[in-house]
Amino acid sequence: MKKLILSCALALSVNTVAQDFNGYIVKFKKGSKLLEQKAFKSIGDFEKLNLSFGDFAKLSNVDLSNKAISELMNNPEIEYVEPNWIIKVDPVDTNKEILDPKFSQQWGLVNDGKNSGGWFSRGKAGEDVNAEKAWDITKGSKDIVVAVIDTGIDFTHPDLKDQMWTNDAELNGIEGVDDDGNGFVDDIYGYDFANNDGNPTDGHSHGTHCAGVIGASHNSIGVKGVMANVKLMGIKFLTDSGSGETIGAIKSVEYATKMGAHITSNSWGGGERSEALKEAIQAAQDAGTMFVAAAGNSRADNDARPTYPANYKVDGIVTVGAMDGKGNRSSFSNYGKTSVHVFAPGSNILSTVKNGGYKKMSGTSMATPFVSGVLGLLLANEPGISITEAKERLMESTVLNSSLTKYSAAGRVDAFRMLTNERN
């Protein structure tokens, strides 16, 4: 595996532009002391990564023509070397800012046909996640933590400020001190791995939009989230321009797991397959954290052409496609009869954005947090349900909409059917 991964990297250095990846991820075999050897350090700059599922380092400032690279590849103490891929926010369509948002415009929660159509046509009533009936059973729980791994969250937003997860030791501690000893300083609402600080403020809006879909307060202003009661953990690894590195994604998943997130919502993708990121997601699953992933917006068949992280073969991943207000696959949405598990609303979705605002956006990025929120309702209603059981319930309770079932392993998500265990 070492040779295969690194040979791909060498080919990419010739065939792709530099911004496709930034340095390399090196996994050492257990007990290796290579990082302590002076001669080994001459290959390039190594930054040791403190991860729970193995010994890793980031390698940068390395000359690919250097013979030391081949020596690194063949070193018996190295398990594998792979590119540190650049990851980007899933592209979205952004509509004009909404100054007077209303719940009646949120067709993904309650679709009456009028609120989900276009200029010249109506949507289809009932093609939504069936939120109102689900809320008669549960509106969530403050015991459930959903980590939004993205561009951060505007945690001062009036619709989000009361929904934020807080690290009480840091909130009540001393500024500039790692009060809880978790290795991160002042991580009150989460962490920023793009800038390596404890302030995951969103300067982009993408992460804030996703957070609002999951858990905007039911407070008579603005919009409503799928969950009225939830704790949203803000984890930023994508910069304010919307891009980041695989290593940042790995650190984000690791942080969410370490700090007790039940679900991570992941509306991003890009780069090629990363074994290290797959291992991070597997470690999260082993610790009890679900991973909800966007299928992608390139109108492609993920069965034929995998996209990551959506296509990793990890049981705890739920991959989500986007549908429009008529119950059809959104024109931009990726699909896959085996690799895309479910569909959820993703076209013209109204939610929160930075600086206390509201906008409509479109993308599998928007469909993903709908599913994160629906799963959050299930975990709130049935504490202790396993990841395997939750994923099975989600998929087997979907509405088998004929226009969607040909594009996914199941159908359209229905929160009420899931909570009542109504299966196909």
State the helix-helix crossing angle for 364-381 and 387-396, rounded to 10 degrees: 120
Measured CA to CA, the distance from residue 316 to residue 271 in angstroms comes to: 21
Is 341 one of the catalytic residues? no
Written as one letter, the residue type at 358 is Y
Task: Quickly count: other Cβ atoms within 10 Å of residue 91's Cβ.
Answer: 15
Indicate which residue of 90, 150, 324, 414 is catalytic.
Answer: 150
Measured CA to CA, the distance from residue 53 to residue 416 in angstroms comes to: 37
User: What does the buried/exposed string (b/e) look like for 254-274 if buried means 16 or more CB atoms within 10 Å of the residue's CB?
Assistant: bbbbebebbbbbbbbbbbbbb
Measured CA to CA, the distance from residue 310 to residue 131 in angstroms comes to: 25
Phi and psi based region of residue 28 (left: phi greater than 0; alpha: psi -120 to 50; beta: remaining): beta
Instruction: Tell me how many degrees the CA angle 179-276-408 measures, rounded to the nearest 5.
Output: 110
How are beta strands 93-94 and 290-294 bridged, if at all? unpaired
Q: Cβ(81)–Cβ(74) under 8 Å?
A: no
Return the structure tokens found at 269. 């993708």
Measured CA to CA, the distance from residue 84 to residue 71 in angstroms comes to: 19
Is 365 one of the catalytic residues? yes
Is 13 one of the catalytic residues? no
Indicate which residue of 157, 206, 209, 262 is catalytic.
Answer: 206
Peptide bond into 309 cis (omega under 30): yes
Measured CA to CA, the distance from residue 215 to residue 5 in angstroms comes to: 39
Indicate which residue of 362, 365, 372, 397 is catalytic.
Answer: 365
Measured CA to CA, the distance from residue 199 to residue 305 in angstroms comes to: 36
Return the structure tokens found at 181. 């000893």
Tell whether the torsion through CA atoms of 261, 263, 265 and 271 is positive or negative.
positive
Q: Cβ(150)–Cβ(235) under 8 Å?
A: yes
Measured CA to CA, the distance from residue 409 to residue 398 in angstroms comes to: 10
Return the structure tokens found at 350. 């109204």
Give the residue numbers annotated as catalytic, written as ranges. Answer: 150, 206, 365
